[in-house]
Structure 1
């Protein structure tokens, strides 16, 4: 692509909005402080609430595979030999990208060096966050394997201060309020994509073992979330998909949560968001 990945996404966004292929979900953002943690709570906008709620429901519809065939109006480009990059049809965050395996693979399959290569190709052009929902209990909305990329600078994430405290060895981070394990990345991780993807793949397997997430015949035997940026890699084991009817995907564990209405928001705040996240791991 002659344009950068983000420039291409922005260009395709304009045409996809005009033709109705892209259907953004409107939200209202609230900052919730539970010292020492800060969370970002997004609630579906009451303006056009039915429309926004319907789009959230459509995004979780498993009856058809939206990636095979994919909507050409949402196609951003190829990313590596085995993946394509698509706009997220029902995006809450602008320029939300999906890195989808060209051929069908289950979302419960282990990530491969090729998946990490696609992730690093994305991060080499976009200073953002890659995340993966490994299984239904981890908030996976579709059965076709895909990683997701949002162009949010990691330092702007709600839990940025805590997420920046991983070391060079795989370990649990005591500064986070939920079960997890992670590792700090080399500063040159995106300079050699082939070497970087193999490095990440090996550390990913190490973190699965650290968290006692068994994996045989290329399948993970328990649900988990993965969050990856240029600075760190983190895995979060999942024991529950939701809390008080609020579903958590990987973004919840960087401090960004989506709720449908004020009732759900109030339930989370009453219980304590940190406590809710802990209960799901």
Structure 2
């Protein structure tokens, strides 16, 4: 049984960071039932009324170099650090970042997989990675995001969809043509996890590090204790929606710029097709 030491530290640093006004939790209201009948998406509307514009000075060129000490959770071996996400989508929203500069749009390497494995052994949940701005990344310094889940909790609203999806390319769904899914087991060694990641990237047409300095296309990566998925991306913002890996996991965020009528008429899955 995992001890969840990192999770407990994340909660403590969350309390301290909120008291210090160093954390800006995103306040949202769930509006799913107003727009959608099924349960495979959760749609939230962002509440901007509580934003303190006087204190939001805008992002630093590289907010992870150095990171704010009050957001610090723990050191992960020699190459990585766990910190809190300054703009969390849920309580205890964790970031795993590289200590030294590594590009977000480069290939995930063995050191990354070592660190992800170490964290997940203690605190697990839904991991997601956005490879570039077109895939929803807000920072160019390499960082992975973790939303902790309890043992009996599903990783995300779309988990059943991913578990049932077959690895086929000749299908009618534009979405499935640009997504590849595989079973995943964190008990495998890091080399095997790296090999699986690279194999899936190659099958999806992202290239491989032997021939390509970086992946050929932007992509999102989702990782759970049961499955891994890679989504090839073509756009970031359409119909007023900005989608990162969480959108494909089933979490949609509506803002004042979003075309609610499009979402209500065509549905969330049709919206996602616009981004691949």
Which TM-score applies when normalising by structure 2? 0.86
Unaligned stretches of 5+ residues in structure 1: none
How well do the aligned residues superpose, as a CA RMSD in angstroms?
2.7
> Secondary structure of the equivalent of 1:38?
coil
1:197-239: CA deviations, max 9, x gaps?
2111111111111111124454112100000011111000001
Query: 1:43 maps to which residue?
Result: 45
Q: Aligned-pair distance for 1:80?
A: 2.9
Go from structure 1 to structure 2 and tell me whether the alpha carbon gap of 1:80 and 1:264 turns closer, same or farther (over 3 Å shift). Answer: farther
Go from structure 1 to structure 2 and tell me whether the alpha carbon gap of 1:203 and 1:156 turns closer, same or farther (over 3 Å shift). Answer: closer
Go from structure 1 to structure 2 and tell me whether the alpha carbon gap of 1:114 and 1:175 turns closer, same or farther (over 3 Å shift). Answer: farther
CA distance in 2, matches of 1:36, 1:12: 36
Q: Aligned-pair distance for 1:172?
A: 6.2
Go from structure 1 to structure 2 and tell me whether the alpha carbon gap of 1:247 and 1:158 turns closer, same or farther (over 3 Å shift). Answer: same
1:257 is aligned to 2:252 = yes
Q: Aligned-pair distance for 1:47?
A: 4.0
CA distance in 2, matches of 1:258, 1:92: 10
Query: 2:192 maps to which residue?
Result: 199
> Secondary structure of the equivalent of 1:258?
strand
Write out aligned runs for 1:42-191 (5 A). 42-45=44-47, 47-48=49-50, 50-51=51-52, 58=58, 61=59, 64-153=61-150, 155-165=154-164, 178=175, 179-186=178-185, 189-190=186-187
Question: How many pairs were matched up?
Answer: 266
Go from structure 1 to structure 2 and tell me whether the alpha carbon gap of 1:82 and 1:263 turns closer, same or farther (over 3 Å shift). Answer: closer
CA distance in 2, matches of 1:197, 1:171: 26
Query: 2:217 maps to which residue?
Result: 222
Go from structure 1 to structure 2 and tell me whether the alpha carbon gap of 1:17 and 1:253 turns closer, same or farther (over 3 Å shift). Answer: same
> Secondary structure of the equivalent of 1:99?
strand
Q: Aligned-pair distance for 1:104?
A: 0.5
Contact 1:166 1:183 in 2 (8 A): no
Q: Aligned-pair distance for 1:68?
A: 0.1
CA distance in 2, matches of 1:176, 1:115: 32
Q: Aligned-pair distance for 1:156?
A: 5.0
Which TM-score applies when normalising by structure 1? 0.85
CA distance in 2, matches of 1:149, 1:175: 32
Q: Aligned-pair distance for 1:23?
A: 1.3
Go from structure 1 to structure 2 and tell me whether the alpha carbon gap of 1:166 and 1:232 turns closer, same or farther (over 3 Å shift). Answer: farther
Which of 232, 235, 240 is the matching residue for 1:237? 232
Q: Compare 68-77 and 172-181 and name the one that shifted more.
A: 172-181
Query: 2:204 maps to which residue?
Result: 211
Q: Compare 79-88 and 117-126 and name the one that shifted more.
A: 117-126
Q: Aligned-pair distance for 1:98?
A: 0.5
1:7 is aligned to 2:8 = yes
